Amino acid sequence: MPPGPTAGVRERAPLSFAQQRLWFLHQLDPADPAYHVTLALELTGPLAAMALRHAVVAIGGRHDALRMVFGAAAGRPFQRPTRAVGSPAHVDLAGLPVERAEAVQDRLLRASAARAFDLTAAPPVRWAVLRMGAGRHVLVLGVHHIVFDGGSLAVVAAELGEGYRAAVAGRPLRFAGPAVRYAELAGCEQAPATPDREAAALRYWHRRLADLPPPLSLAAPSLAAPRLAAPSGVDARAPGRRPVTADLRMKPDRAAGLRAFAAAVGATPAMLFATVLAGLLARYTGQRDLVLGTPVSTRDRPGGVGMFVNLLPGTGCAAPGRPARPGRARCG
Has residue 239 been placed in a domain?
no
Given a cut of 50, whether residue 2 has pLDDT beyond it is no
Overall number of domains in the chain: 2
> Could you give the CA distance from residue 242 to residue 117 in angstroms, rounded to a whole number?
25
Domain end (from 169, 189, 209)? 189
Residues 28 and 169 occupy one common structural domain: yes
Given a cut of 50, whether residue 66 has pLDDT beyond it is yes
Residues 52 and 120 occupy one common structural domain: yes
Residue of 315 and 147 predicted with greater confidence: 147
For residues 217-244, one letter each, b for 16 or more C-beta atoms within 10 angstroms of the residue's C-beta and e for the rest, the string is ebeeeeebeeeeeeeeeeeeeeeeeeee
Provide the total of helices (H) and of strands (E) in the chain, helices listed first: 8, 11
Residues 25 and 165 occupy one common structural domain: yes
> Could you give the CA distance from residue 105 to residue 108 in angstroms, rounded to a whole number?
5
63: containing domain = 13-189
Residues 185 and 254 occupy one common structural domain: no
Question: Which residues on neighbouring strands pair with residue 312, listed in sequence order?
Answer: 294
Residues 263 and 159 occupy one common structural domain: no
> Could you give the CA distance from residue 72 to residue 70 in angstroms, rounded to a whole number?
7
> Could you give the CA distance from residue 107 to residue 26 in angstroms, rounded to a whole number?
24
Residues 175 and 315 occupy one common structural domain: no
By the 8 A CB rule, do 151 and 308 touch? yes
Given a cut of 50, whether residue 320 has pLDDT beyond it is no
Task: Specify the pairing of strand 136-144 against strand 125-133.
Answer: antiparallel
Average pLDDT of every residue of the chain: 81
Single-letter residue type at 2: P
Residues 32 and 176 occupy one common structural domain: yes
Residues 23 and 166 occupy one common structural domain: yes
> Could you give the CA distance from residue 209 to residue 207 in angstroms, rounded to a whole number?
6
Domain end (from 170, 189, 208)? 189
Given a cut of 60, whether residue 235 has pLDDT beyond it is no
Q: What CATH number has the domain bearing residue 99?
A: 3.30.559.10
Has residue 197 been placed in a domain?
no
**At residue 313, what are phi and psi to the nearest 5 degrees?**
-75, 135
Given a cut of 80, whether residue 19 has pLDDT beyond it is yes
By the 8 A CB rule, do 122 and 69 touch? yes
Query: Quick one: average pLDDT of 291-303?
Result: 81
Has residue 65 been placed in a domain?
yes
CA 154 to chain centre: 11
**At residue 15, what are phi and psi to the nearest 5 degrees?**
-85, 150
Query: Quick one: average pLDDT of 292-320?
Result: 75
Has residue 223 been placed in a domain?
no
Residues 22 and 159 occupy one common structural domain: yes
- The band of 332, judged by pLDDT with boundaries at 50, 70 and 90, is very low
Given a cut of 90, whether residue 214 has pLDDT beyond it is no
Residue of 177 and 267 predicted with greater confidence: 267
By the 8 A CB rule, do 31 and 91 touch? no
pLDDT digits (tens, 9 = 90+) for 180-210: 888 888 888 877 667 788 888 889 888 888 8
Report the side by side order of strands in the sheet with 136-144: 36-44, 136-144, 125-133, 89-92
Residues 171 and 24 occupy one common structural domain: yes
Rounded to 5°, angle at Cα 241 from 145 and 315: 60
Has residue 37 been placed in a domain?
yes
Has residue 38 been placed in a domain?
yes
Residues 156 and 59 occupy one common structural domain: yes
Residue of 21 and 226 predicted with greater confidence: 21
Residues 168 and 20 occupy one common structural domain: yes
Has residue 305 been placed in a domain?
yes
Has residue 206 been placed in a domain?
no
By the 8 A CB rule, do 116 and 30 touch? yes
> Could you give the CA distance from residue 308 to residue 299 in angstroms, rounded to a whole number?
6
pLDDT digits (tens, 9 = 90+) for 118-133: 999 999 999 999 999 8
Given a cut of 70, whether residue 322 has pLDDT beyond it is no
